[in-house]
Structure 1
Amino acid sequence: MTADGPLDHECPARDGTVLRGLLWRCPDPAGLVLIRTPYDARAHAPTARSWTGRGYHCLVQDVRGRYGSAGAWSPYEHEGADGRDALDRLRAEFPGLPLLLFGASYAAHCALEAAREAVGEGTGGAPRRSAADAVAGIIALVPALGLAETAWDAGGRPQLWHRIGWWHMHGRGPRSRPALPAAELDRRAAQARERGPVAAAADWAWPAATMSGWRRLWSARRIDPRARYGRVAAPLLAIGGDDDHFRADTERLARGWTGPSHLVGGPWGHGLVGGIRDEGLRARVRSTGGIGGVIDAWLAVHGPRGSPAPWTRILLPAPGSRSRSVFDPASATWHHERSTP
């Protein structure tokens, strides 16, 4: 299918802040995909076009305070409420179209939080919206679940190198900045190990708003996926990687999901298949259809269109069903199986 656009899109949040993005459209859409990102909606054009190629409209929205969107940028603070407002806007603009939430890393956090808010408590503790009316499905790739999950690894060790680098590039102001030179990043990580991350950052000339978020990062607590997302009954496709620093959290998310969940893993890191340095291995993964092939098969079961592949019989359409797909590099094949709760 050929996409029209992109078109400029505006969504006023409930507090009046205008959230802006780009909308890619296709003829006769089967559904609508929402991606919310702090990394510039324009940079997501290839991903958006992959969705229009599947037959879905796709809105890529800059999160509050980043690139085209107004407001103040505060990582991991506004994505639930703002995501809910974006979903409400899209429902009004495209009534009847099934809504999918999609995102990688921080954008996966945005997707999960939008789903949570969409079925959050309304009057008298009742759900704000029924699970069936909220979202049709969620696809979370290498998800950065929350502040604490980005700050500490599964063993409780601080992820200083990753966090210092990320906050330098993306945590300060409306646009991302060039990466720190490796030597400077190593120097700052050493300072943080010696003095503590908050005390060390006092020497890095970060503005007050950035320092406030940095302090919040190191005092945050890990989330319990089942407790946080327990009202969300939509099917989840959680895609991790053997070498991803969020692998344990991706598995924890899929294991604790209330609705049907399917976990995908393989020999890649946070950059997914495109980040595999071994060209032969990367080619072998792609020769099988790669992660995109698993997404297409999952959509054929949980989406409005498609012919399911034979292996998708394991994707039981029942709450609490668990399944997984794992790529075996030795045989260059996928193994699809049911898994225990």
Structure 2
Amino acid sequence: MTPPRDARPHVCLADDGIALRGWIWEPAVPRGVVVLRTPYGAWRQGDTARSWARRGYRCLVQDVRGRHASDGEWNPYLAERDDGRAVVEAIRAESRGLPLVLSGGSYDAHAALEAAREIEVEALVLMVPALGLSETAWDADGRPQLYHRIGWWHQHGRGPRSHTPLTEEQLVGRVAHAAEVGVHRAAEEWGWAPTVLAGWRRLWAAPPLDLPRAYGAIDAPLLLVRGDDDFFHDDAGRLAASWSGDVHLVDGPWGHRLGADIADDEVRARLRDSGGIGGVLDAWLAHAGLPSGVDTVRHRVPAGHRSRSAFDPLTGRWQHERTA
């Protein structure tokens, strides 16, 4: 790990005394705060943090418990609620009077949602959320997502550091093997440690989240980005439907890696020329009365409890509409 030169280290203690570490990117004059908690390496989120800093936000990117610089044991999807609350309380005390936004994509979105269950924040900005264990294990039709789960747990689910990803040939072979002998026996034969196997068993046995019960009481405004080709697309829709506060959906022809998953160079160029997802984010922040980092915004997000922005890959234009 090479520490980012334009950020300062940050340490927060969880309720049990575990040190949770990250980095803070600081604008010249902070007008808001963003907290992003991730298992993928806080220093890797520098570009995202800098984009928030340009908007006037003090941005904390923190390694979750048991990953990279943070202490403790890594158990995916188990510790983010209490740890997230402790972190938000700590950063609020350091940034009194500033609005606080929770943000993140994929697993980071789960961490943000869990923190929001415990402590009030001004807004959430979530992308392609991996909502929970069951939601990542099974698709909308109840089929096991072996390809994505085997790949993720091999790379990110085993210990404090990520491993080299499987090659396509290796991953396809493991998927076929798990389909033949079962997910548990296959993982045992791959030589995974007992603690990892325990988490793997927990993944496949976890019940689906009751989204209204889990997140229905959160009334903070939500910007929710989902992708037409993302394997968590339907889960994002269910989250939006269960949200009690204002929610703005952002739809487009991307997958789990957002614009990086758009194979067509011309479509990527149209998305960039349109201002991209960041342009809609700026409009939404301004509409919500939060710092947006720009004096004028390119888009006009409609007022309403539920609204949507959809990118047309053929015309390169955004359509903004109120849906409820």
TM-score range, shorter chain: over 0.9
The 10-residue stretch of structure 1 (59-68 or 217-226) with the greater mean CA deviation from structure 2: 217-226
Instruction: Note if 1:211 corresponds to 2:197.
Output: yes
| Shift in CA distance, 160/54, structure 1 to aligned 2, threshold 3 Å | same
Given candidates 297, 302, 307, the residue that maps to 1:314 is 302
Q: Closer, same or farther in 2 for the Cα pair 1:163/1:42, shift >3 Å?
A: same
Offset of 1:191 from its aligned partner? Answer: 1.3
In 1: Cα distance, 2:34 partner to 2:193 partner: 35
CA deviations 1:146-180 (Å, max 9, x no partner) are: 01111011111100010000000000010101001
Q: How does 1:55-70 map to 2 (within 5 A)?
A: 55-70=56-71
**Amino acid in structure 1 at the alignment position of 2:73:** A
Q: Tell me what 2:150 maps to.
A: 164
Mark the CA change 1:26 to 1:5 in structure 2 (over 3 Å): closer, same or farther. Answer: same
* TM-score, normalised via structure 1 length: 0.91
**Residue in 1 aligned with 2:96?**
95
Equivalent residue in structure 2 for 1:285, among 258, 271, 284: 271
* Letter in structure 1 aligned against 2:115: A
Partner of 1:126: none
**Residues 1:278 and 1:227: Cα distance change in structure 2 (over 3 Å):** same
Per-residue CA distance 1:173-210 (angstroms, 9 max, x = gap): 10101001222211111111112211221101000110
1:16 aligns with 2:9: no
Distance of 1:258 and 1:4 partners within structure 2: 40
Q: Which AA in structure 1 matches 2:306? A: R
1:75 aligns to what? Answer: 76
What is residue 257 of structure 1 aligned with on the other side?
243
Give the deviation of 1:311 after TM superposition. 5.5
RMSD: 1.5
Displacement, 1:109?
0.5
User: What are the Cα deviations for residues 59-83 of structure 1, in whole angstroms up to 9, with x where unaligned?
Assistant: 0000000000000000000011100
Q: How many residues align?
A: 319
CA distance in 2 between counterparts of 1:305 and 1:185 reads: 43
Contact 1:255 1:322 in 2 (8 A): no
CA distance in structure 2 between the aligned counterparts of 1:224 and 1:80, rounded to whole angstroms: 16
In 1, are the aligned partners of 2:42 and 2:62 still within 8 Å (CA)? yes
| Cα distance change of structure 1 residues 311 and 54 upon mapping to structure 2, 3 Å threshold | closer
Deviation, 1:308, is 6.7
> How many Å apart are 1:303 and its aligned residue?
3.9
Q: Which runs of 4+ in 1 moved over 3 A?
A: 305-313
Question: What is the rounded CA distance, in whole Å, between the counterparts of 2:84 and 2:133 in structure 1?
Answer: 18
The aligned counterpart of 2:86 is 85
* Unaligned ranges ≥5, structure 2: none
- Could you say which residue in structure 1 is the equivalent of 2:232? 246
Instruction: Give the % identical residues.
Output: 53
Normalization by structure 2: what TM-score? Answer: 0.95
Partner SS state of residue 314, structure 1: coil
SS at match of 1:113: helix
Structure 2 equivalent of residue 275 of structure 1: 261
Structure 1 Cα separation of the partners of residues 270 and 126 of structure 2: 23
Structure 1 unpaired stretches of 5+: 119-133
User: Could you tell me how far apart the structure 2 residues matched to 1:5 and 1:89 are?
Assistant: 22
Q: Work out the CA distance in 2 between the residues paired with 1:303 and 1:175.
A: 39
Q: What's the counterpart of residue 339 of structure 1?
A: 323
Alpha-carbon shift at residue 21 of structure 1 (Å): 0.2
- For 1:32 and 1:309, locate their aligned partners in 2 and report how far apart those are by CA, in whole Å: 20
